[in-house]
Structure 1
Amino acid sequence: MAPASLRGRSVENPTISIEQEIQRSYLEYSLSVIIGRAIPDVRDGLKPVHRRIMYAQHELGNTYNRAYKKSARVVGDVIGKYHPHGDSAVYDALVRMAQDFSMRDPLVDGQGNFGSIDGDSAAAMRYTEARMSRLAGEFLSDIEKNTVDFRPNYDNSLQEPEVLPTKVPNLLLNGSAGIAVGMATNIPPHNLGELIDALLYLLDHSSCSSRDLMQFIKGPDFPTGGVAYVGEGLTEAYTTGRGSVKMRGTLSVEDRGKGLESIVITEIPYAVNKSTLVEKIALLVHERRIEGISDLRDESDRRGIRIVIDLKRGTIPDIVINALYKYTALESSFGFNMMAVVDNRPQLLTLKDILAHFLEHRREVIIRRTRFDLKKAEARAHILEGLRIALDNIDAVVKTIRSSKTAQDAKQALMEQFELSDVQSQAILDMRLQRLTNMEHEKLLEEYRELLKKIEFFKSILENEDVLLGVIRDELDALKKTYATQRRTVIDDHDLSGIDIEDLIPDADVVITLSERGYIKRTAMENYSAQKRGGKGIFGVHTSDGDFILNFLVTTNHQYILLFTNRGKMHRLKVHQIPEGSRTAKGMHIANLLPLDKDEYVVASLTVRDFAADRSFLFVTRKGMVKRTHQEMYTNCRSTGIIAVNVRESDDLLQVVDVGREDEIVLVTQHGYAIRFSVADARAMGRGTAGVKGIALRSGDRVVAGVVVTPDEHKDILTVSEKGYGKRSSLDLYRLQTRGGKGIITMRTTPKTGSLIGAIMVEKDDDIIMLTSENKVIRIGAGEIRKVGRATQGVRLVSMADDGHVVGFDIVRDKQIDEARKNED
């Protein structure tokens, strides 16, 4: 407050409160920083400097299909015409718009050194060149059609747009980060295809919630890839505007041979400096906070990131990996703060709010563009109407013009004689003589008819809300088709609290079903109750038309399920990672769990608890080839899978079984033949080999099963046909042969029984679970199945409709019987 001696001054010298003046001035400064510098507009997702860079390039004609211009030229235009700030600030913004590791979809196409993910600075602006990216052109489309408001630039000498008429939901696509006075914004980038899917859904379901839109927008999609661990943090961010998700880099374990391994980092979290990350790892090794690392090197190049960490012999990779996540930026957090300017006021927005504001902006742009086009079309149609009248009365028009003394007299005479407007009369006077030809006359009439159609369409957009929404929908579809790319960041909803999820999951018996079209599910064994032989079964699994169950496994939650593809690759999951479903559920597509390539699909599966050094995997193909490889060679499975077997083009992988060197194998064919030979006959090979011949097939025959036999065990072979017939035969009836023979009869197949679909080893007290093409499951005791010789057709095990068939079966060991046996012993 002013001192007492200054109070009561006249109006010419009013007293001013210092406190109020500071408050007012600081508020104005704050708003200027918020709106004019740090916080993006919700409509185009741009801060003023980015908007001015794009508009200046547009005015320069510096588009994606023209030659590059020096960055200094662009920066000069920006600061000279629209942005009265330092050139380094403008150039830094332009550089970031060109960095593919900073922007999910860059808006500037840069040529030269524009910096690196290691934190290297860009070259000086006099050396680099730039132009707008193709996507950036969509930000300025139709700007000349009065689609947005313009305002004077800083010195009132030019006009600049208040917002760009963008077709791109840029606020979420490329995200934004900024610190203003008293507030900040931090929005991650997203995938364009997912954003457009959500916008299209919002167009049809305006009352939906942010949670509803999350079925399309799975989470952030960072340009550097990596893994985003989402959950309640993401839901909170999208529904309130604030939240947090964990980011992790992508790494794998590679075998260097001779028992040595390396951890290879190929993707790092968003906004992490790679050089700083490598230096941090080296420091941790030097301080012995991370043990077991023998060498660290950065092998990154223009093809991508590759940080190699060599491990000492005997080091467990998972321990080092967990330490990297704990002590370095390889695991980071991204805090959402979705603040944006709405109607010149900063607001915290939800996911739906941002998308709804963008759609409202597109609606306004299209309405203003349509009004502009309609006005222009009507003006042109008015002129064409006058030319049409002139051509229909050409002789009279020519006579009138020739009889006039001056052009003004001719115009006035035409207006009076043919009831034309001033514009129409002038157009007639300006018409060239060549327009009098019949061809030109037809062109004029065709143009007139097309204009009338356009006018009608423009009016329908302005008068009919459904037509307007249809235009928005068509533009979004076209944008997705042209610019959408595959997601780079993997979304994972696992909790990273450090608790081992297996500690919370009981190691219970479950059934895994995998259909031919790739749908997989896990079902508790207790859902399948025992029934009598010959029963019709209960509904087991729902599949769509043309689909059927490919693999049917009985296992436990803590085991590994190994999935082998037609390309000979192996992928590994824990059984409990497979989504649980009811008995009749369809399941989840395997592509949501595994990184399968195009045209790659699962053909065989196997469950194991660990990879024993004295055990092997035996691969069996449809054409009778077998290959044995030690299990320890499959211990380290990358997230993208590893090569398991080399499958020839004319063959298909059928089965993979767990064997010991002393075991034997019985190969069973579709036509009812079998061969028994020692596993040792197939020498151990490397992972990328094709194997040797196991059985010589007869014409038209193929292998349907590989049954592992333990020496000296007294079990039976159960064979099952496609029409529900089966039998038990003593293993002693199958003599041991040399690998590569034609085999002996194992079941007499007839049109009544149909072809064999498989075989397994059983004991009398085992339970058998079977699945039919009618999606029914039956569980029967093995003791109920008649034990007969090899060359018989067996008995009916399951009743089906005439066109039904058995598609899979497996053994269920009854734990209560095992426990009873132990008590008896």
Structure 2
Amino acid sequence: MDFGLGRVRPIEIDKEMKNSYIDYAMSVIVMRALPDVRDGFKPVHRRILYAMHEAGMAANKPYKKSARIVGEVLGKYHPHGDQSVYSSIVRMAQDFSTRYLLVDGHGNFGSVDGDSAAAMRYTEVRMSKISEYMLADIEKDVVKFTPNYDESLQEPEVLPARIPNLLVNGSSGIAVGMATNIPPHNLSEVVDGIVALIDNPEAELPELMQHIKGPDFPTGAMILGNEGIHEAYATGRGVVKIRAKAQIERMSNGKERILVTEIPYQVNKSRLIEGIAHLVNEKIIEGITDLRDESDRQGMRIIIELKRDANANVILNQLYKHTKMQDSFGIIMLALVDGKPEVLNLKQVLVHYINHQRDILVKRSTYELNKAKDRAHILEGLRIALKNIDNVIKIIRSSSDTDAAKTGLSEALSISDKQIQAILEMRLQRLVGLEQEKIDNEYKQILETINYLESLLHSDEKIMQVVKEDLLEVKKKFGDARKTIITIDNSQIPVEDLIAVEDIVITITHNGYIKRLPTDTYKNQKRGGRGVTGMGTKEEDFVEHLFITTTHHNILVFTNRGRMYQIKGYEIPEASRTAKGTAIVNLLQFEPQEKINTVISVEGFTADKMLFMATNMGTVKKCRLTDFGNTRKGGLNAISLLENEELISVKLTDGNSNIIMATKLGLSIHFSEQDVRVMGRTARGVRGLALKKNDSVVAMDVVRDDSYILTITEEGLGKRTLISEYRAQTRGGKGIINIKINERTGVVAGVRIVREDDELIVISSEGIVIRTDVNAISIVGRSAQGVKVMRLDDGDKVVALATVNKKIIEE
């Protein structure tokens, strides 16, 4: 094959691709994406500040157009596109992106809402005061300079960096196969940590963390816990959780609102608010009535107004869970060390910075020493000339030209060419006595400076002392208070651990409204009155379930469709005595046509408790309470039902209770629950009562010795019967008579186990509600029909009843 007389060289494509990609990767790593451990800058930021320094854009000079410095950087040092340069300048000027501003910007530089900065032709910039410290003494040969991209100019390889910028302002960047993400820190804390390490080079992480508490973000907010911080400082990698700063306030109308004043670092405020609105619209978070942004020049204010019956603590925790109000910051402390990327722990970062400052100080001192020696040499020549001034004047006047004068002075005074040149350039005014004295004083001061610098360069202890003094000066000038609070990590703590255990009253109405009230709401009412007076329900509604529990108890809600839902006491919104409450469908994910038939409060899911269930078709089932401990948000099936079958009642038992069931055609059965074996949660159940045609079970309850069986019929007749009249049978039988029914009585509307101090509530199909004390209803036999409890209009029927124990609200 002809390879062009040696002008074409054969190569293997895989080797060429490998070598080329490695070259590209290293170029990105070293020249673009990663900061240097010494000054904490990527090349673009270093070049921006150096170009501003060279252009005279100091903090005490007028602002200049951003486009001007962008052009300077592009043309001289960084030919990678104007947007890459301008976006870097913008970030260095944003107080919500950079902890200590490196660029003093004038104009629109964007906002925390994600608004972009104005074009570079509109904005103006100059160096900030802190940036000047990053370039301090750069003209004293303290850093190495390298050729720029076209070798027409020189640029610094690193900046002197009197500010520990890598930690103070942090850095983020994605290279090839690696990334860095260093959070900003508080300048005062970092300086204290460096000083502590200078004083004790053997100091380990615990001692350093006494000074450097953790990241300090420009947007403030809160860091949850020290675990992620400690891991990052120990290994160079870790994750910290950041949570918005929010507080719950009570408004003048009695409702509560959440006020957010600080959000996590790098979170877009506008998108955060949009995210909250989306969660409200999708009903993922319930209870928010208004959401608005009142942020202004004075600070951030996001207002989240809540419903009157909403639990503010629960909603706030939901916001932390579902939105960027709680975010994570993954720390990767990756930086270039001698041109190579390394993941560094906190101590290593500090040690590299201290070594850099030591090197800068040594080079600065060496430069100043050489300058001082040069000046001393000149002053020595001037002093010699002044002592021999007459002879000097004579030689100069008699010389034909400058070279002759130099030769004559050299022979007469034995001085160097530099000294001769200084003598020839000396003005006549230096001959006056006062000027001679100034030269002598300057010479003495120069000698003192030389002695100090020589002693400094020969003592590492003195060098480190100066490094400390320089850093403490920086702290005094630029140090400020911490913005980000470090608090305990309660994000993994269950919400109930943050809520006090308190006794509460839960009420649920017939139409499905639920609310929570303090127990003293009822204790302050008159004794002997109606326990549910003033509940604020509609005329056709009434309180069907009322019980005392605690904020930490589990409320088990069973529906006619055989499903069970679970809610904590504190999750039920608190409301006033006269408030209607919250529709329970807003708290629990009910399926269509589901209705509550039983509510049970349990402290825990213990193995010694059972749940006994009954359906309208006579099926019964007994399960362990522990089977229901892990309830999904959407509920779970408590019993498998046939078509047209409904769960009518569930009771909490000890496994040894007696059960009574009653039907709409007036039959009942009394048996021991031990006749029913324990079954799994998905089991169908067994026969509890053999039903006649067209009959169905209307009630199931646990028998108590001090109680009666109360029966109410559709036509409003009712009676109480002693438990002793119902002999115990074996489950599955046809049962015995509970009440004789006919056209006058109508079928049975409901049966309850009641006590003397209970109150009965009866509702008709027309929405008429009456309340009466149970002890006002006559005690009669099983076969009796009872007395009129509720008078009904033609066509109206009793459709539901409930009982409330008045003693509950007085104990």
- TM-score, normalized by length of structure 2? 0.61
Residue 444 of structure 2 corresponds to 449
Structure 1 unmatched ranges of 5 or more: 505-556, 560-609, 616-825
Q: Which of 170, 177, 182 is 1:182 aligned to?
A: 177
Q: Show CA shifts across 1:202-231 (max 9, x none).
A: 111112223321111111100000001132
Structure 2 unpaired stretches of 5+? 503-517, 524-811
Q: Map residues 801-812 of structure 1 onto 2, 5 A cutoff.
A: none
**Is 1:105 aligned to residue 82 of structure 2?**
no
Q: Which amino acid aligns with 1:420?
A: I
* Residue 341 of structure 1: aligned partner: 336
Q: Does the 8 Å CA contact 1:211/1:239 hold for their aligned counterparts?
A: no
Alignment correspondent of 2:281: 286
The one of 261, 269, 276 equivalent to 2:264 is 269
* Distance (Å, rounded) in 1 between the aligned partners of 2:171 and 2:299: 24
User: What is the count of residue pairs matched by the alignment?
Assistant: 508
Match of 1:16 in 2: 11
Residue 398 (structure 1) aligns with: 393
Partner of 1:237: 232
For residues 260 and 70 of structure 2, the distance between their equivalents in structure 1, rounded to whole angstroms, comes to: 37
1:713-758 deviation line (CA, Å, top 9, x unaligned):
xxxxxxxxxxxxxxxxxxxxxxxxxxxxxxxxxxxxxxxxxxxxxx
Q: For the structure 1 residues 403 and 211, does the alpha-carbon distance in structure 2 shift closer, same or farther, using more than 3 Å as the test?
A: same
1:423 lines up with 2:455 in the alignment:
no
Q: Does 1:86 align with 2:81?
A: yes
CA distance in 2, matches of 1:75, 1:403: 59
CA distance in 2, matches of 1:495, 1:252: 15
Of 442-451 and 492-501, the range deviating more from structure 2:
492-501
Counterpart residue identity of residue 224, structure 1: T
Does 1:489 find its partner at 2:495? no
The one-character-per-residue Cα deviations of 1:792-812 (angstroms, maximum 9, x if unpaired) are xxxxxxxxxxxxxxxxxxxxx
Are 2:28 and 1:33 aligned? yes
1:459 has 2:454 as partner = yes
| Conservation of the 8 A alpha-carbon contact between 1:231 and 1:495 | no
Secondary structure in structure 2 of the residue aligned to 1:257: coil
The one of 188, 193, 196 equivalent to 1:193 is 188
Separation (CA, whole Å) in 2 of partners of 1:53 and 1:493: 40
Q: Secondary structure at the match of 2:173?
A: strand
1:499 is displaced (CA, Å) by 3.2
Counting aligned pairs with the same residue, the percent is 53
Residue 6 of structure 1, CA deviation? 8.5
**Number of the residue aligned with 1:121:** 116
Aligned equivalent of 1:296, options 291, 295, 299: 291
CA distance in 1, matches of 2:277, 2:452: 66
Q: Which moved more, 1:346-355 or 1:251-260?
A: 251-260
In structure 2, do the counterparts of structure 1 residues 74 and 12 end up closer, same or farther at CA, with 3 Å as the change threshold? closer
| Superposition deviation, residue 386 in structure 1 | 0.5
Amino acid at match of 2:282: E
Query: 1:386 is matched with which residue?
Result: 381
Distance 1:614 1:104, change over 3 A: farther
Shift in Å at residue 232 of structure 1? 2.0
Q: Which amino acid aligns with 2:98?
A: M
What is aligned with 2:247?
A: 252
Alignment correspondent of 1:226: 221
Q: How does 1:645-656 map to 2 (within 5 A)?
A: none
Give per-residue Cα distances to partners, 1:54-76, cap 9 Å, x unaligned: 01100110011000000000100
**3-state SS of the aligned residue for 1:369?**
helix
Residue 407 of structure 1 corresponds to which residue in structure 2? 402
Give yes or no for contact 1:110–1:130 (8 Å, CA) kept in 2.
yes
Q: Quote how far apart the aligned CAs of 1:614 are.
A: 12
Would the alpha carbon gap of residues 501 and 322 (structure 1) be closer, same or farther in structure 2, given more than 3 Å must change? Answer: closer
User: Is this contact kept in 1: 2:314–2:495, CA < 8 A?
Assistant: no
Residue 387 of structure 1, CA deviation: 0.4
> What's the offset of the Cα at 1:612?
8.4
Q: Corresponding residue for 1:315?
A: 310
Amino acid at match of 2:445: E
3-state SS in 1 of match to 2:70? helix
Structure 1 residues 122 and 441, CA, compared in 2 at 3 Å: closer, same or farther?
same
Matches within 5 A, 1:762-781: none
1:172 and 2:198 equivalent?
Answer: no
CA distance in 1, matches of 2:357, 2:458: 16
Which letter does structure 2 place at the counterpart of 1:373?
Answer: E
Contact 1:219 1:230 in 2 (8 A): no
The answer to whether 1:147 aligns with 2:142 is yes
RMSD between aligned residues: 2.1
When residues 55 and 613 of structure 1 are mapped into structure 2, their CA distance, relative to the original with a 3 A threshold, is: farther
For residues 328 and 412 of structure 1, what CA distance do their matches in structure 2 show? 85
Aligned residue for 1:41, secondary structure, equals: coil
> d(CA) in 2 for partners of 1:42 and 1:65?
29
- Per-residue Cα deviation, 1:512-538 (whole angstroms, up to 9, x for no partner): xxxxxxxxxxxxxxxxxxxxxxxxxxx
Cα–Cα, structure 1 residues 503 and 78, in superposed 2: closer, same or farther, change >3 Å? closer
> d(CA) in 2 for partners of 1:114 and 1:212?
40
- The change in CA–CA distance for 1:491 and 1:132 in structure 2 (over 3 A counts) is same
Deviation at 1:502, TM superposition (A): 4.8
Whichever residue aligns with residue 402 of structure 2, its letter is A
TM-aligned CA deviation for residue 84 of structure 1:
0.6
**Where has structure 1 moved over 6 Å in runs of 4 or more?**
610-615
Structure whose CA Rg is larger: 2
Q: Secondary structure at the match of 1:106?
A: coil
State the partner residue of 1:216.
Answer: 211
Shift of 1:432: 0.6
Q: CA deviation at 1:494?
A: 2.9
Q: What is the rounded CA distance, in whole Å, between the counterparts of 1:79 and 1:125 in structure 2?
A: 14
Counterpart AA for 1:246: K
Aligned to 2:360: 365
Paired residue for 1:823? none
Q: Which amino acid aligns with 2:218?
A: P
